Amino acid sequence: MEINYLCGIDVSKSSFSIAVKDGSFIIKDRLFEMNRSGFSKFEQLIRGFKPNIRIGMESTGIYHKNLSNFLKDSGYNTVEIDPYEMWRFFKFTNSKPTTTDRKSAKTIAEFLEFTKDAFNHKEEPYEDERYSLRHFVREKERIVQDIAKTKTEIRRVLGLVFPEIEKYDSIFSKEILTLLSRFPSSRSICAITYQEFIEQADSILNKGRGRQAKICLKEIYRLACNSIASEFGVYEELLKIKINRLFFLFKEKEDITSLIDQIADKFFKREIEILTSIKGIGRESAIYFMAEIIDIKRFVHKGRLIGFCGLDPIIKQSGQFKARLRISKKGNSHARRIAWIMAGCVKKSNPYFREYYLKKRREGKSYKEAIIATSTKLLRTIYALLWEDRCFK
């Protein structure tokens, strides 16, 4: 199919601007609302160009997704452009990034013309069901961060209402949290007799459990009666709220972990088997990694996978001088983080990668430089294993 028309789209939350280019001239330049009516009006405008038009938009955030899927459903040749590629286009052409939506749409159209040979391939694939793993994994990461934040907040409140128990080893066990939701301060515990506390605590902790709680109630009562805490009624209520929030987050994490396991087993069972054959890589790390790369066949060679993770080096050369300054960090930050974590694990547990790490250290590399080198070595190995569908020996 011959491409005679190029359409750049700049997307915002409530509207999108388009610029249709024919050779050297912009023949259409419009603004549409981000709704069904706007989609229909836009489609009517470009319908006559359908067999010979390529449409491009930056894949920034989520606002472009509905429009992109609408165009693909309607049979248009639609590509989503990496923002980093647009930035490189600005740099190459010595032009400054534009600030108005219409000028941005024209710039995207010019980018499509400049790189039109690079897009002579199949249209961008849909985010099929496999991609749901990525969304669930990233949501789980946010939940884990919220859990850590809420735990810190609970510790701060306990520092006022019951500082002695804040140092308890199992402070975030379900038993102690349940107990604190009923007795949210040392004052509320020592206000009753020891026998009353034991009876109420047993009733709370053993209800429906069928077992004794693994905490020492006698020790908690002793700590409460010797506490230095003052009376902070408002913070007692705040502690209850934060404990309830933490329990809610625990449940969310449990539910989303179950969903992640189901999707991983359905779509990535073999890939996880291959990755976990590398000593030091656990199931969770394997799932997180596959959630980002989805399909190794997306990368035509190992360098593309390394670049996707942002672990490719930035090289400066002048005459005979050549230096690797740092990694680019232009790729997928989630994939880069998990690659870093996996490298740290395999250099401890896997003799093959540990020897490589130690070799880099003997060459004078810093810890960070050696881990980065181990990460790229690991990614090259993973690429080969997944591409050849074999386990690590």
Q: Residue 91: is its pLDDT beyond 80?
A: no
Q: How confident is the model at residue 41 (pLDDT cuts 50, 70, 90)?
A: very high
Does residue 210 fall inside a structural domain? yes
Task: Using alpha carbons, list the distances in angstroms from residue 158 to 48, 73, 193, 219, 240.
Answer: 68, 55, 22, 17, 11
Q: How confident is the model at residue 188 (pLDDT cuts 50, 70, 90)?
A: very high
Does residue 393 fall inside a structural domain? no
**Residue 94 — φ and ψ, nearest 5°?**
55, 30
Residues 139 and 241 in one domain: yes
Residues 23 and 89 in one domain: yes
Q: How confident is the model at residue 2 (pLDDT cuts 50, 70, 90)?
A: confident
At 156 the three-state DSSP class reads helix
Residues 220 and 295 in one domain: no
The residue from 202, 231, 262 where one domain ends is: 262
Residues 329 and 241 in one domain: no
Residues 185 and 291 in one domain: no
By the 10 Å C-beta count (0-12 exposed, 13-18 middle, 19+ buried), 232 is classed as middle
Residues 307 and 211 in one domain: no
pTM: 0.77
CATH number at residue 121: 3.30.420.10
Q: How confident is the model at residue 315 (pLDDT cuts 50, 70, 90)?
A: very low
Cα–Cα distance, 110 to 97 (Å, whole number): 13
Residues 237 and 277 in one domain: no
Does residue 226 fall inside a structural domain? yes
Residues 336 and 286 in one domain: yes
The residue from 99, 126, 153 where one domain ends is: 126
Q: Per mean pLDDT, which of 50-54, 93-97, 383-387 is the most reliable?
A: 383-387
Element (H, E) at 196: helix 194-206
Does residue 81 fall inside a structural domain? yes
pLDDT at 117: 59
Lowest mean pLDDT among 16-30, 216-230, 283-297: 16-30
Q: Quote the number of domains for the chain.
A: 3
CATH number at residue 219: 1.10.287.4070
Residues 174 and 60 in one domain: no
Residues 352 and 245 in one domain: no
Residues 281 and 384 in one domain: yes
The residue from 77, 104, 126 where one domain ends is: 126
Q: How far apart are the first and last CA of the chain?
A: 46
Q: Which domain holds residue 151?
A: 134-262
With a pLDDT cut of 90, the percent of the chain lying above it is 62
pLDDT at 209: 45
Lowest mean pLDDT among 173-177, 326-330, 386-390: 326-330
pLDDT at 317: 43
pLDDT digit string (tens) for 105-158?
A: 888 988 888 876 555 444 444 567 898 999 999 999 999 999 999 999 999 999
Residues 88 and 120 in one domain: yes
pLDDT digit string (tens) for 253-284?
A: 999 999 999 999 999 999 999 999 999 999 99
